[in-house]
A and B are shown apart, each in its own frame.
Chain A
Amino acid sequence: MSNVPRFWRNLKRRYNLIGTKCLNCNELYFPPRQLCPKCRRASKIEDVQLKGRGEVLTYTIIHSAPKRFEGQTPYIMAIIQLEEGPKLTAQIVDCDPTEIDIGMKVEMVFRRIQEDGDAGLIYYGYKFRPIAN
């Protein structure tokens, strides 16, 4: 239950991949930052909607997962470089462990991230899947 307020505060960016941009140096950040580490006191921070497309930089296959993720093993966690530049870690879905590859183009999808058991809250957010062509 202690998770609920923290999750709710971050809900918008977890649902929609909203990052921040420093208008002083044009650097994009995800997760969002209140302060640009380059510009510090000269930072001018603004929210930006990221497009949710990118490519896989590296990945790992999880066979032995923490308790709440056990139902999904084996699953893929990847570091993704977004088209806009920022990198993030996310699960790759709609993709078998044998199909994943470095450089694979991926797009954001909306999935369940976690559940607080049968009676608790369901946490939703972004994951990524291969772009079909």
Chain B
Amino acid sequence: MKLEGVGIVGYGVYIPRYRIKVEEIAKIWGGDAKSISNGLKIFEKAVADYDEDAATIAVEAARNAVRMASIDPKDIGAIYVGSESHPYTVKPTATIVAEAIGASPELTAADYEFACKAGTAGIQTCMGLVASNIIKYGLAIGSDTAQGAPGDALEYTASSGGVAYIIGKDKLIASIEGTYSYTTDTPDFWRKEGQPYPRHGGRFTGAPAFFKHVYNASIGLMESLNLKPQDFDYAVFHQPNGKFPRKVAKMLGFTIEQIEEGILVDKIGNTYSGSSLMGLAAVLDKAESGERIMLTSFGSGAGSDSFSILVEEGIKKIRGKVPSVEDYIKRKKYLDYATYAKLRRKIKVIS
């Protein structure tokens, strides 16, 4: 669907300071680090500190977004936090964010869950509310402290981080030209109530899940807006590892040059709800006015939301106001597996 006048007013990211290398995890489980690194195209991942969770990460990203946008937080009329690691099963993360950024109490808020695409679902909701003049600004966040079971392949990639986007109609740094979604009932990845770690369908996660949905959403978007891959300067895809986004880009007809800027998974891991949105932030950190970006998320279960984003003049005014994706990537400290296991509460402390 073609949209006019709605877009991004500001964005903010947060990546925790700790990293663990693939070698360090492989050492513990007897994996071959080189072949894992080559296979998954990932070298290290971000790890949240003991006192960080999806809510604290969401707050840090949201505070950066509000500072970048230079808006009064009281003008935010809706907050949606997408995560598969909300700290409470019952009690919203969005209310914590609303209070911590000073947006309370006149707003609507809710938590979203749709594996790794809950953040882009929040953006679409905000777009609708803004376009229909129900709210002035909406805040959509993807934030996770993702966990893989110790020894599971997911442990090499499941990481922590968050991204926040403020959607509005004025002071745009980028407009959203349109969005298109593709959703089916696909059991590629799941976690039931009370289970600490998710289960996945192994090889089933590729073709019928990631590739089918990302491909169809991206094609649907381009068809609906009458655009071709060559009309985009950048394309950003969900990145559960470094291999999938590169492969789907090729299937769709995008070049390596169009996608490299938005691939971060090799340095920070899969930040789940933050994954494709973090890639978009890295591209916005560099993009020039007039450039066009495709963003396609993926959430297991399964679905993809695709967006066409056109960078506006306003982008110049916000550069350097808050830490960039690169600033957070550079700020790092490596952990050994034992410390990592303690921070991520893989070892239960009896008290």
The chain A residues found within 8 Å of chain B, CB to CB, are: 11-12, 15-16, 49, 67-68, 70-72, 93-94, 96, 109-113, 117, 122, 124, 127, 132
Q: Show 26 residue pairs from A and B whose CB-CB distance is below 8 angstroms, ordered by the A residue.
A: A11-B99, A15-B100, A16-B100, A16-B102, A49-B102, A67-B351, A68-B351, A70-B351, A71-B50, A71-B342, A71-B345, A71-B349, A72-B50, A72-B51, A93-B51, A109-B60, A110-B59, A111-B51, A112-B52, A112-B53, A117-B351, A122-B53, A122-B55, A124-B55, A124-B96, A132-B323
A-B contacts at CB below 8 angstroms, number: 53
Q: A15-B99, A93-B51 are in contact. List 13 more A-B contacts (CB 8 A).
A: A67-B351, A71-B342, A71-B345, A72-B51, A110-B60, A111-B51, A112-B51, A112-B52, A112-B56, A117-B351, A122-B55, A132-B327, A132-B331
Please count how many residues in chain B sit with their CB below 8 Å of the partner chain's CB atoms. Answer: 25
Q: Contacts of B88 on A, CB cut-off 8 Å?
A: 122
State in angstroms the CA–CA spacing of A91 and B308 once bound together.
Answer: 43
Query: Which chain B residues in 61-113 approach chain A with CB under 8 Å?
Result: 63, 87-88, 96, 99-100, 102
Whether B56 pairs with A111 at a CB distance below 8 angstroms is: yes
Contact A122:B87 (CB < 8 A) given known A94-B49, A111-B51, A112-B53: yes
Q: Could you say which of B56, B102, B342, B345 contacts A110, with CB atoms under 8 Å apart?
A: B56
B309-351 vs A, CB cutoff 8 Å, 1 = contact: the mask equals: 0000000000000010001000101000000001001000101
Q: Contacts of B351 on A, CB cut-off 8 Å?
A: 67-68, 70, 117
Closest to B55 in A: A124
Closest to A91 in B: B51
Q: Contacts of B169 on A, CB cut-off 8 Å?
A: none
Q: Contacts of A16 on B, CB cut-off 8 Å?
A: 99-100, 102
Closest to A117 in B: B351
Q: Contacts of A49 on B, CB cut-off 8 Å?
A: 102
**B144 vs chain A, min Cβ distance (A):** 16
State in angstroms the CA–CA spacing of A122 and B331 once bound together.
Answer: 27
Tell me if B17 is interfacial: C-beta within 8 Å of chain A.
yes
Q: Contacts of A93 on B, CB cut-off 8 Å?
A: 49, 51
**B66 vs chain A, min Cβ distance (A):** 12
State in angstroms the CA–CA spacing of A94 and B47 once bound together.
Answer: 12
